[in-house]
Amino acid sequence: MSTSDSHEDAAAPGSGPRPRLTVIGTGYLGATHAVCMAELGFEVLAVDVDHSKIERLSAGEIPFFEPDLADLLRANLATGRLRFTTSFEEIAEFGDVHFVCVGTPQRPDGYGADLSHLNAAIERLAPLLTRPCLVVGKSTVPAGTAAGIARTLARLAPANAGADADIVSDLAGVQLAWNPEFLREGFAVADTLHPDRLVFGVASPAAEGALRAAFAPVIAQGVPVIVTDYATAELVKTAANSFLATKISFINAMAEVCEAVDADVLTLAEALSHDVRIGGNFLRPGVGFGGGCLPKDIRAFQARADELGVGVALRFLREIDEINNRRRDRVVDLVAAALDGTLARRRLLVLGAAFKPNSDDVRDSPALAVADLLARTGADVTVVDPVATPNARRALPGVTYSETVEDVAADADAVVLLTEWRQFAELDPARLGQLVRRKLIIDARHALDGDRWRQAGWVYLAPGRPTGVIPSPVPEQRPRFGLPAATGPDGAAARDAEIDAPVGRRS
Ligand SMILES: NC(=O)C1=CN([C@@H]2O[C@H](COP(=O)(O)OP(=O)(O)OC[C@H]3O[C@@H](n4cnc5c(N)ncnc54)[C@H](O)[C@@H]3O)[C@@H](O)[C@H]2O)C=CC1
Ligand SMILES: O=C(O)[C@H]1O[C@H](OP(=O)(O)OP(=O)(O)OC[C@H]2O[C@@H](n3ccc(=O)[nH]c3=O)[C@H](O)[C@@H]2O)[C@H](O)[C@@H](O)[C@@H]1O
């Protein structure tokens, strides 16, 4: 039951300033959304099937790392505007607008989105909706999902008895809207309070009005609102993530070519970025993209395009994925080549486990994937991350972890930087140089000042950066660790050139 007194004052969706909001699913997206909507002045009640998460949130603790979010959570719990529950009954009774933020992970077969959490949430909520309200999908879904959910609501919500939810033109019953989310982890609070656009996929003016009321403080900032149908709203989200992934893989493909002619991908990227039509954002080369969204979303998008009979249009996304995965192998190759082709029993210090800095998220993390590849070769791998080690331990138990570098640097044969945490960029090469066995650093994220590290006596390597020698051409299908197949008379020379060049020239 709702404990708030202000419900009678709260206007019905679309006709008043302050609808009461609920959030279903309190993960990275849902917890942020709940806290930020309370911060914007709404009364918010959030639910999750994970009771421990709800306990921690109720106690003022964010179950993941996101800058600024814990302070806002505590402040809004204190006002009483924000509450958490495990009761869907309470949610249904409380809310005028219900935001659905449950996970839509990759299916176990690696292809397509797993909608089971979303369907379960809707099927649990719908039969409890006995009065007019708006259900708003925020999760990322394949195009066409919202239309199916609207039909489920029409069938299961008691408030819709006798009404056709596809055609109702006011909130006489329960309606659906799709409002994709574009926040970035690490910047989740700022992105939610000040988004660069709002996308409303709606089937009626009444649903649009209810959404405008739910976002009134954001819209008042002048944020553009794009009002469209369900399918376009769903597609905006997957198209945006596909575009971002494409930009990253484009620059990483350029890094591959740079390596073949000993050119500098960082200078190339900078020169491209001055063209305002291209821009510099998402043009950072390195070890590629990861996380809980970009990789799974481009795969789910391809799967949906295949189902729709337009798979050929998105065939390039497979290539984007492959370029991305090759970067992980490339870093392993670089480490192996620098260590004379042998990784077994080498002591490697890996800097970073999170998929990006300012996050403890290790879902499809390039850093952990590289740590895993290195460990599988027999290397003795220690991973350092300031906040992601608890999650990393669960995801990759076979390696050693630490939260600080100095404790575990002794006798390292190489340091491999894979997540560009500020703490790592600020490392003192002279001090670290006294601890390690061999002063060799592979900066896979281009986070360090290479000249500074070289001046301190380190061999500094970074993918896509020049080495001083143009490597001999090697067959395209080469085996791992950068060892070219010794198929012809030049094979041995090519192999020697590739293995020796990066280290020999720099040490
Ligand atoms: N993480 C991010 O930065 C962003 C995520 N998204 C999308 O948002 C959705 C959620 O993503 P995350 O928050 O990262 O996932 P998450 O895995 O961190 O959170 C999902 C939450 O939903 C809960 N849940 C599962 N089934 C439920 C049910 N039946 N009823 C209530 N709660 C349930 C889980 O217990 C979990 O707490 C995904 O579709 C994702 O693609 C969109 C933009 C940004
Ligand atoms: O759908 C989602 O969940 C979100 O996915 C991404 O956000 P996020 O995954 O938090 O992180 P990004 O900042 O996009 O970075 C993704 C990955 O790309 C990598 N990256 C990013 C930028 C770049 O230039 N190069 C690069 O390798 C990062 O290191 C990281 O591994 C999008 O940026 C968000 O707009 C979107 O809402």
Alpha helices, H only, 310-365: 315-338
Order of strands across the sheet that contains 414-417? 400-402, 380-384, 347-351, 414-417, 440-443, 459-461
Distance, in Å, from the CA atom of 271 to the CA atom of 127, rounded to the nearest integer, reads 57
Q: For residue 490, what are the CA distances in angstroms to 71, 481, 484, 493?
A: 62, 18, 10, 5
pLDDT digits (tens, 9 = 90+) for 345-395: 999 999 999 999 999 999 999 999 999 999 999 999 999 999 999 999 999
pLDDT of residue 171: 61
In a domain, 216, yes or no: yes
Going from the Cα of 282 to the center of ligand 2, the distance in angstroms, rounded, reads 8
pLDDT of residue 470: 67
293 and 333 assigned to the same domain: no
**What's phi and psi for 136, nearest 5 deg?**
-120, 115
The answer to the question of whether 138 is labelled as a binding residue is: no
404 and 445 assigned to the same domain: yes
Domain CATH for 502:
3.40.50.720
Residue 187: its H or E element: none
Question: Which of 226, 231, 189 is CA-nearest to residue 208?
Answer: 226
pLDDT of residue 4: 36
pLDDT surpassing 70 at residue 253: yes
CB 421 within 8 A of CB 439: no
Q: For residue 197, what are the CA distances in angstroms to 179, 200, 290, 343, 478?
A: 11, 10, 24, 48, 45
Known catalytic membership, residue 258: no
pLDDT of residue 226: 98
Q: Which of 33, 289, 296 to mutate to test the pocket of ligand 2 (most atoms within 8 A of CB)?
A: 289
**What's phi and psi for 227, nearest 5 deg?**
-100, 125
Any residues with Cβ below 6 Å from ligand 1, and which? 24-30, 47-50, 53, 101-104, 117, 120-121, 139-140, 181, 183, 185, 292-293
334 and 271 assigned to the same domain: no
The token pair that represents 151 in the structure block: 């039909």
In a domain, 233, yes or no: no
Ligand 2 pocket member 285 (CB < 6 A): no
pLDDT of residue 166: 45
In a domain, 377, yes or no: yes
pLDDT surpassing 50 at residue 96: yes
346 and 409 assigned to the same domain: yes
For Cα atoms 137, 140, 144, give the angle at the middle one, nearest 5 degrees. Answer: 75
148 — pLDDT class (breaks 50, 70, 90): very high
What are 402's strand-pairing partners? 384
Among the candidates 292, 319, 346, a domain finishes at 319
pLDDT digits (tens, 9 = 90+) for 181-201: 999 999 999 999 999 999 999
Distance, in Å, from the CA atom of 202 to the CA atom of 209, rounded to the nearest integer, reads 10
Domain residues for 431? 327-506
165 — pLDDT class (breaks 50, 70, 90): very low
In a domain, 1, yes or no: no
Which letter does DSSP use for residue 205 in this model?
Answer: H
pLDDT of residue 8: 37
In a domain, 365, yes or no: yes
pLDDT digits (tens, 9 = 90+) for 203-219: 999 999 999 999 999 99
Please list, in sequence order, all residues whose beta carbon lies within 8 angstroms of the beta carbon of residue 13, skipping any fewer than 6 positions away: 19, 96, 97, 132, 133, 134, 171, 206, 209, 210, 213, 214
pLDDT of residue 489: 34
Question: Which of 362, 364, 328, 351 is CA-nearest to residue 421?
Answer: 351
Question: Which of 259, 393, 436 is CA-nearest to residue 331?
Answer: 259
Ligand 2 pocket member 185 (CB < 6 A): yes
pLDDT digits (tens, 9 = 90+) for 2-22: 333 333 344 444 445 689 999
pLDDT surpassing 90 at residue 495: no
pLDDT surpassing 80 at residue 243: yes
Among the candidates 208, 228, 248, a domain finishes at 228
For ligand 2, atom 12: residue with the closest CA: 184
476 — pLDDT class (breaks 50, 70, 90): low
461 and 332 assigned to the same domain: yes
What are 468's strand-pairing partners? none
Number of domains in the chain: 3
CB 327 within 8 A of CB 254: no
471 — pLDDT class (breaks 50, 70, 90): low
Instruction: Say if the ipTM goes beyond 0.95.
Output: yes
Going from the Cα of 22 to the center of ligand 1, the distance in angstroms, rounded, reads 14
Lowest mean pLDDT across 82-91, 168-177, 244-253, 270-279: 168-177
The conformational region for residue 229 under phi > 0 = left, psi -120 to 50 = alpha, else beta, is beta
In a domain, 499, yes or no: yes
Among the candidates 285, 319, 353, a domain finishes at 319
152 and 40 assigned to the same domain: yes
Going from the Cα of 244 to the center of ligand 2, the distance in angstroms, rounded, reads 8
307 and 396 assigned to the same domain: no
Count of CB atoms within 10 A of residue 205's CB? 12
* Choice between 163 and 152, residue whose per-residue pLDDT is larger: 152
Going from the Cα of 139 to the center of ligand 1, the distance in angstroms, rounded, reads 7
Ligand 2 pocket member 316 (CB < 6 A): no
Crossing angle between the packed helical segments 230-261 and 315-338, to the nearest 10 degrees: 40
85 and 186 assigned to the same domain: yes
350 and 384 assigned to the same domain: yes
pLDDT surpassing 70 at residue 152: yes
For ligand 2, atom 35: residue with the closest CA: 182
In a domain, 165, yes or no: yes
Name the amino acid, one letter, at 424. Answer: F
**N- to C-terminal Cα separation, the chain:** 69
pLDDT surpassing 90 at residue 235: yes
**Ligand 2 atom at minimal distance to the Cα of residue 355:** 31
The percentage of the chain sitting over the pLDDT mark of 90, rounded to a whole number, equals: 83
**Ligand 2 atom at minimal distance to the Cα of residue 293:** 3
Distance, in Å, from the CA atom of 193 to the CA atom of 32, rounded to the nearest integer, reads 10
pLDDT of residue 111: 82
* Choice between 307 and 495, residue whose per-residue pLDDT is larger: 307
pLDDT digits (tens, 9 = 90+) for 274-283: 999 999 999 9
Distance, in Å, from the CA atom of 385 to the CA atom of 396, rounded to the nearest integer, reads 13
406 and 300 assigned to the same domain: no
In a domain, 234, yes or no: no
95 and 139 assigned to the same domain: yes
pLDDT surpassing 70 at residue 163: no
Average pLDDT of the segment spanning 220-238: 98
pLDDT surpassing 50 at residue 502: no
Domain CATH for 309:
1.10.1040.10
210 and 249 assigned to the same domain: no
pLDDT surpassing 70 at residue 321: yes
Ligand 2 pocket member 138 (CB < 6 A): no
pLDDT surpassing 50 at residue 504: no
CB 373 within 8 A of CB 381: no
pLDDT digits (tens, 9 = 90+) for 18-50: 899 999 999 999 999 999 999 999 999 999 999
Q: 68, exposed or middle or buried, with CB in 10 Å at 0-12, 13-18, 19+?
A: middle
Question: Residue 208: helix, strand or coil by DSSP?
Answer: helix
